[in-house]
Amino acid sequence: MKYIIIVLAFLAMSCNDKTEDAHAHNADGSHVGEEIPRLDHTIWTDKTELFVEFPVLIVGQGSRFAAHFTEMDKHQPVREGSVTVSLIKDGKGIRNTADAPTSPGIFSPAIQPKEVGNYQLVFELTTPGYSDKIVIDSVTVFANADEAIKALGAAKDDGSISFLKEQAWKIDFQTAAAINGKIYDVINTSGVWMPSPGSVKTMVAKSNGVVDFAESNLTEGTPINKGQLLINISSQGLASNNLSTEIAKARSSFEQAKSEYERKKQLYESKIVPKAEFEKVVSNFNIARSNYQGLAAGVAGDGKQIRAPFDGYITAINVANGDYVDQGAAMLTLGTLRSRVLKTQIAPSYGLTMENAQSIWYQTKDAQWRNVASSGGSILSIAKDVGNNRPLISVFAQVNDDIEMPEGSLTQVQIAMGNATQNTMIPVNALLEDYGSYSVMVQLSGESFERRPVKIGKRNGENVEILQGLEIGEVVVTTGAYQVKMASMSGSTPAHGHEH
């Protein structure tokens, strides 16, 4: 009897399963329990990248947004601030504010629509540093889930590379949009760094004495700051040319000349002494004052101080610690990093002149391209003559940047000349090279990428011309492209680090 009860129970369960299965689909074939479709949008502004994911909007159902905000300049998550999301139609709508991110870069406001239709979805970001407004046009609110599923269909795998925002935020990562820019013909050459006028200064002894270095580790190449004490020249213990004695004498002469000046001034104003006599007293007073102030300036204790006149570095040291020097002796040569002259040489066959020369790019210490004009620099001159001993034409450019490269060192140079053409252009750092073929990582959406082959043209410093493979406005990875490439080779999609 017990066995019969068990069998009947099993048959009853089977019938229930069949009944449920029979009612698990709607008349149109859609599954009642089918997951509500999710949407995502990626919008870039000058300040911010917004990548937002959310369930399709349905009347009467709340939709919570996973809004990822990235600061464009450093490609870091927005860590502070608030986000207000608004659903607007015909100037009216509803809104909700998330007062803080649920995790770095991710805000989770929610909206519950009341009526069907097409709306604007507006995100307003407010941070301690800046504000931004991002608008997504034509967002549909559906009457129910079945209509949404019928209109949008099921999500399909497009074969793109998944690279999460949380992954990008943890590494050096940057993107840039392909733009329509000016492309020049360039002359590829090299240049040598030279000091510019006024960027090198020799520091001389302002009195006789013994050299005392302010720091024991002063060597060529040592960085210095404006006003930094470099050398103290002490005359303590010297029988002659003692600075303290000279200052005392100069002060006595100054005070005596000052007293004479004040006395004669009253007499001259009373017309008791002639003008010529008073002018002689004034001259003696000015000379005595200048001599005293010159000797006393920069004196601390028993020594004369030598301080750095600007930020820079030591290029040469002509004395040793403990040496005796005479007034006027050269002790140090200082250079500044803020201004250099870049000298390069090219063949005269290029026909470069001041009229057709457009710009000059050079490479920094870390191999980044920079334009001399970006910091107010310019081409100074282009030689016109060549000879047996000078078969090349010299080109000189003023560079007003921090050049952390020694004088006389070489750098790669590109000289732009002629008339520019307009074409698609991206940063050269975006290129991935494989045996002479080039590709880029295109950001299709916030977490979706595609490796795309491109055909390149001219290189202009930090930018490269794209002849084929990219459209203006498409976004490419300029820093971190290799990591995205490795993600495409892993063969698996990483799990999300946040709730969707």
pLDDT in the model for residue 268: 79
CA 256 to chain centroid: 60
Predicted structure pTM score: 0.67
Residue in the block written with tokens 């998550």: 77
User: What is the sign, positive or negative, of the torsion defined by CA atoms of 428, 433, 439, 444?
Assistant: negative
pLDDT in the model for residue 4: 38
DSSP E strands, 319-403:
324-325, 330-335, 340-346, 357-363, 369-371, 378-382, 393-399
How far are the Cα atoms of 257, 259, 278, 330, 335 from residue 291, in angstroms, in the given order? 12, 16, 20, 21, 30
Strand, helix or coil for residue 108: coil
pLDDT in the model for residue 211: 86
pLDDT in the model for residue 24: 41
Structure tokens at 414: 């590109």
pLDDT in the model for residue 35: 74
CA 1 to chain centroid: 84
| Average pLDDT of the chain, as a whole number | 84
Q: What angle, rounded to 10 degrees, do the helices at 243-269 and 275-296 form? A: 150
H/E segment holding residue 388: none
Closest CA to 447 of 377, 497, 397: 497
Q: Which residues of the chain have pLDDT under 50?
A: 1-33, 239, 492-500
Rounded Cα gap, residues 183 and 415, in angstroms? 12
pLDDT in the model for residue 243: 54
